[in-house]
Structure formats: C-alpha cells, structure tokens
Amino acid sequence: MVIHLKNTTPEATANEIGQQLQASRFKEGDHFVLVAPFALKSLPESISQHVEASWPMDSDIQLASKSYKNELRSIKWGNTEIGGKTQNTVVIAGPCSIESWEQIESVAKLLKSLNISTLRAGCYKPRTSPYTFQGLGLEGLKMLAEVRRQYGLNIITEVKDSSHIEEVIEYTDIVQIGAKSMYDQSILRRCGEIRKPILLKRGFGTTLQEFVQAAEFILSGGNPEVILCERGIRTFETKTRFTFDLCGAAWLKQHTNCPVVLDPSHAMGYAYGVPDLAKASVAFGCDGLLIETHPNPKSAKSDAAQQLDFEAFTNLMTHMQKIAGAVGKQLI
C-alpha cells in the first residue's frame, strides 16, 4: 500500500505511522511517502487525518507499478532525458571495459562525432572467471572523470560489489548495477539512498517479478530514478550467448513506470547479430539502448566477440536514426 502523507505531517508522526504499518518511508518533495507490505481496507482515523492520497496495493510491486503512477518516470542526467513525456531513444555506448587512456579517448571522440551524450565503460568487471581481466578499478574511474571533463560526456559505469560502491557513486553520472549483482541488497539499498540515476540490469536467471522487486528496493529507499535494462536471459539455447527477451521488455513497458533500456550486445554475445537486434529494439520503442563498441574489438580484454568496431557502430547509428524517425522516436 502506498500512502502520501500531507505535507503538514511532522517527521515524528510520519515515523510513527510508518512503524505502525511496517512501511518503508522516504521524503518526496515536501511530503513523506510510505510503502506498506500489505493493504488496509480502511485506514484508522489516527492515520487517515494525515493522508493526502493512498493506493491500496497489496503486492511486491508497488512504486514501479503503473497502478501507482501511470506516467513514465522522467530521468535526467546532464542534458539528456529518458522517459517522461519525451519520445527519446537514448543511445548509451562504449567499450565493455576501460582499458587505457588511448582506448577510451578514441571512443569519446567517436561518440562526440555522432552526438551521443553518454559513454559506458566498466572499471570493476564482474567476470565469470577470477583469472581474466578484472578491470582497472579506481584508475579507470579517474580516467572516466577526465573523459567527462575533456569531452563533456556523461558517464555510466558499473558497481560490482559494495567494496567500491562509494567510489563509483562519486565518479559516475549513472550507476549501473549488473546482471550478476542485481540481487545484492547492500548495493540496492545504498542506491536507494542516493540521487543519481540507476540502470538496473536484469539477471540472466531472473523472472520479471524478481527484477521489478529489485527495483522496488531502490525506489522504496527514496531514489525515484530507476531505469530497467533487459540484457538477455539464459534459456536452453546455447548458440547465442543469451536469449533477448523482448516479450519481457513489452511486459515491463506495459506494467511498470520505469524507462526500459535494451542491451542487444550482451544478449547476442556476437557482433554480427548486434546491429539487427539494435534496429529491432529501436522499432520496438525502447527508451534507450546500450551498445558496446571498441576501437579494436579483437583485442578487447572483456566481451571481445560482441563489441562493434567503429565502422559498424557508425553505420548502425545511421540506420537507427531512420528507424527512430519512422516510429515517431528521436534517437539521441
């Protein structure tokens, strides 16, 4: 049950009501929002006198649900807006990992030339094997900060575990929570306390219900800026890296109020399939796309098989512009 208290309600009263209802509570603008794990048919007078509005939902999906807020959340960073009333399809692109200054600077120049505002690159990589490249860590974050300063790009990078979450929060514009970290409640709760957009990736063995519940951890902590990212799930199929769940993405669009970003790179796992999937994603009407590109994919230290070289990425942008125009969207 979601409850908006009147803006005259003192904090102590909000806390008392919150405890009575076993509710999460946070401040939104000038009023408190409570989210109780159950719905009451009628609120006792001691509570109702403080209530501005209430949504008697009894579900694990509340704040992210269209039954609570029907309009798509608008999330902004720098001059970029995703969701809300826009028809934007926001392209987020860059290498899987930052590997060197030369590498990331070449990507920054490419993005600038294509009018793309947001650069992705991992510094702490959640690798499947402990014996492969684990990322440049803090050194990488510092380079990304320098890219932001020199090229005016916004940065998204991933938090892998709670040991470096404060660093990532400090250095990045958007925090990415990866598929493998999506269940880490210390990360989810910390991301609920901050005011930066969070791009939450769906785990590859995660149901849509579990995915949105993870988003609820962030939203009920008081951070309204959650973007959901479909990046492929594991099925019986082994010829592609994962299975791109567009049905799931359609469900998210229908039932949740969070912008949906699609990531064909990690879903496909092979560069040859990424352009067609990216074009299909634009036609699908996603709010954003996450695409990996690298100056020399063959030499990439992570996800080498799926990253587009600059030529393929530049061609793809031209095609996606046309498709976006045809479906009434604006590729930015």
Length of the chain: 332
Of 50 and 127, nearer to ligand PEP (C-beta) is 127
Question: What are the structure tokens assigned to 260, written together?
Answer: 């949906």
From the list 307, 224, 228, the residue with the least C-alpha distance to 262 is 228
Which residue from 14, 96, 199, 258 is in contact with Mn ion, where contact means CB under 5 A?
96
- By the rule CB under 5 A, 303 interacts with Mn ion: yes
In the list ligand PEP, Mn ion, none, the entry touching 189 (Cβ below 5 to 8 angstroms by class) is none
Q: How far is the CB of 332 from ligand PEP (least distance, A)?
A: 20
From the list 37, 68, 60, 32, the residue with the least C-alpha distance to 47 is 32
Residues 143/159, Cβ–Cβ less than 8 Å: no
From the list 121, 122, 117, the residue with the least C-alpha distance to 153 is 117
Of 173 and 303, nearer to Mn ion (C-beta) is 303
Beta strands in 114-184 (DSSP E): 118-120, 154-159, 174-177
Piece of 88-96, 167-175, 190-198, 221-229 that binds Mn ion (CB under 5 A): 88-96
- By the rule CB under 6 A, 96 interacts with ligand PEP: yes
Nearby residues of 18 by Cβ (< 8 Å), 6 or more positions away: 24, 25, 32, 34
- By the rule CB under 5 A, 168 interacts with Mn ion: no
Of 245 and 263, nearer to Mn ion (C-beta) is 263
Q: How far is the CB of 178 from ligand PEP (least distance, A)?
A: 3
CA triplet 172, 176, 178: central angle to 5 degrees?
A: 145
| Of residues 214-243, those binding ligand PEP (CB under 6 A) | 231
Of 90 and 268, nearer to Mn ion (C-beta) is 268
- By the rule CB under 6 A, 122 interacts with ligand PEP: yes
From the list 294, 300, 249, the residue with the least C-alpha distance to 274 is 294
Element (H, E) at 89: strand 88-94
Reduced to 3 states (helix: H, G, I; strand: E, B; else coil), residue 316 is helix
- By the rule CB under 5 A, 99 interacts with Mn ion: no
Piece of 30-38, 46-54, 83-91, 175-183 that binds ligand PEP (CB under 6 A): 175-183
Q: Where does this chain bind Mn ion (CB under 5 A)? A: 96, 303
Q: Where does this chain bind ligand PEP (CB under 6 A)? A: 96, 122, 126, 178-180, 201, 231, 266
